[in-house]
Amino acid sequence: MTSPSYRCTWTALLVCCVMRPAHAEWVKRVTDGIMGTRITVELWSDDQAKADSAIDAVLDEMRHIDESMSTYKPTSEVSHVNDQAAGGPMHISKELFDLLVTAKHYSELTDGAFDITYASVGYMYDFRQHVRPSEAQIGAALPAVNYRHVLLDPKHQTVRFTQKGVRIDLGGIAKGYSVDCGIDVLKARGFTRAYVSAGGDSRIIGDRFGKPWMVGIRDPRKGEGEVITRIPLVDAAMSTSGDYERFFDENGVRYHHIIDPHTGHSASKVRSATIIGPNATRTDGLSKTAFVLGPEKAMDIYNRLDDIDAIIVTLDGNVIYSKGIEPARPAPAKSAAQAPAVPP
Ligand code: ADP
Ligand code: MG
């Protein structure tokens, strides 16, 4: 007969075995070449096969978005829109229609700084080949830059351009959107701790077991590994736009990939802007604004949005913060603060 104490030990051991979590770990994969950028997916999983299949699904989703929204692919839906939408209303997929509605929302929110029709001029730049349009070419194309030229009909799910010469490019929002889609894929499969990034756009679900994820903001004038600060994030998205991403310098002028819709030239009022918010479509849609409007006007907009924080590196290298994350300033020195008024 088994003694009660012996039985107790066995029961405790059995319970331990059942309750002990299966071996779990962080699984990370870095992939280059989708949407012309680097994709990183990292998640916490107790099953390597499930983790691999989830990461495959995230990358498939991103490839699909690239296929349908890239202007570098002549067969993409966006390229078809650019070819045909000036000719009359054109039926498009629900996914593209919804993203065009979202893009318009960010144009309105940013006083037109974010504008997907920047591409009416922007297509003439090739930053890799150091090609830029002449002033005459910019002048001729500029009237086509205006988000109001893109007419969206929700009833028929159509898009139409009001005039010839209008082109759209979703390069300023599609990466953030693809990150959100990737996060949705992971959530649907039950993952509760994960990080997805595409270029400068990233989003996080959950924490790192009681600790936040620490996401670095690159120093705009130093190498890739050099950061000006690290931001602790839990359940949040972050997008950084920088004038160092795609650019060439000519006669002391930097030509880079964020275009001022009002002038057709590179928008150069800041060096970098980082936006923190609830999802990456939103942070991507807002990160170009500071380049076009300048730090003060952009901060006014960011500070008005309750769910947004921002960190801007100005042209002279200063770092400025939105109200929600302003670092604590040292308290004024006691003697000065409490000094009795000096009689005149
Ligand atoms: P990344 O592509 O690394 O996410 P950004 O978020 O800064 O970088 O987006 C830059 C891209 O935004 C450009 O390459 C271009 O496709 C697009 N873009 C440029 N100017 C504008 C603008 N004024 N409004 C909307 N999109 C823009
Ligand atoms: Mg982006």
Please write the tens of the pLDDT for every residue from 288-317.
999 999 999 999 999 999 999 999 999 999
Nearest to 173 by CA among 83, 109, 234: 109
CATH of domain 72-161: 1.10.3980.10
Assess whether the C-beta atom of 171 lies below 6 angstroms from ligand 1: yes
Summarised one tens digit per residue, pLDDT across range 239-271 is 999 988 889 999 889 999 999 999 999 999 999
Q: Is 228 helix (H, G, I), strand (E, B) or coil?
A: strand
Assess whether the C-beta atom of 294 lies below 6 angstroms from ligand 1: no
pLDDT over 70 at 179, yes or no:
yes
Q: Is 332 helix (H, G, I), strand (E, B) or coil?
A: coil
Assess whether the C-beta atom of 288 lies below 6 angstroms from ligand 1: yes
pLDDT over 60 at 338, yes or no:
no
Q: What is the DSSP annotation of 27-75?
A: EEEEEEEETTEEEEEEEEES-HHHHHHHHHHHHHHHHHHHHHH-TTSTT
pLDDT over 60 at 335, yes or no:
no
Summarised one tens digit per residue, pLDDT across range 13-23 is 444 434 445 68
Summarised one tens digit per residue, pLDDT across range 51-93 is 999 999 999 999 999 999 999 999 999 999 999 999 999 999 9
More confident residue, 12 or 171: 171
Q: What is the pTM of this model?
A: 0.90
CB atoms within 10 A of CB 136: 8
Q: What is the pLDDT of residue 337?
A: 41
Q: What is the pLDDT of residue 5?
A: 47
Rounded distance from Cα 163 to ligand 2 centre (Å):
28
Mean pLDDT of the chain: 90
Assess whether the C-beta atom of 281 lies below 6 angstroms from ligand 1: no
pLDDT over 90 at 332, yes or no:
no
Rounded distance from Cα 306 to ligand 1 centre (Å):
24
Q: What is the pLDDT of residue 8?
A: 42
Question: Can you give the residue ranges of every domain in the chain?
Answer: 20-70+171-206, 72-161, 209-326
**Whether the Cβ atoms of residue 59 and residue 41 lie closer than 8 Å to each other:** yes
Summarised one tens digit per residue, pLDDT across range 99-125 is 999 999 999 999 999 999 999 999 999
Assess whether the C-beta atom of 115 lies below 6 angstroms from ligand 1: yes
Q: What is the pLDDT of residue 92?
A: 98
Asked if domains 20-70+171-206 and 72-161 share a fold, the reply is no
Assess whether the C-beta atom of 256 lies below 6 angstroms from ligand 1: no
pLDDT over 80 at 339, yes or no:
no
- Ligand 1, from 138, 147, 288: best to mutate by most atoms within 8 Å of Cβ? 288
Assess whether the C-beta atom of 287 lies below 6 angstroms from ligand 1: yes
As its CATH architecture, domain 209-326 has Roll (3.10)
pLDDT over 90 at 203, yes or no:
yes
| CATH fold group of domain 20-70+171-206 | T-fold (3.10.520)
Q: Which ligand 1 atom sits nearest the alpha carbon of residue 114?
A: 24
Q: Which residues surround ligand 2, an ion (CB under 5 A)?
A: 175, 200-201, 284
Rounded distance from Cα 257 to ligand 1 centre (Å):
6
The token pair at 162 is 């009001």
pLDDT cut 90: percent of the chain above it: 81
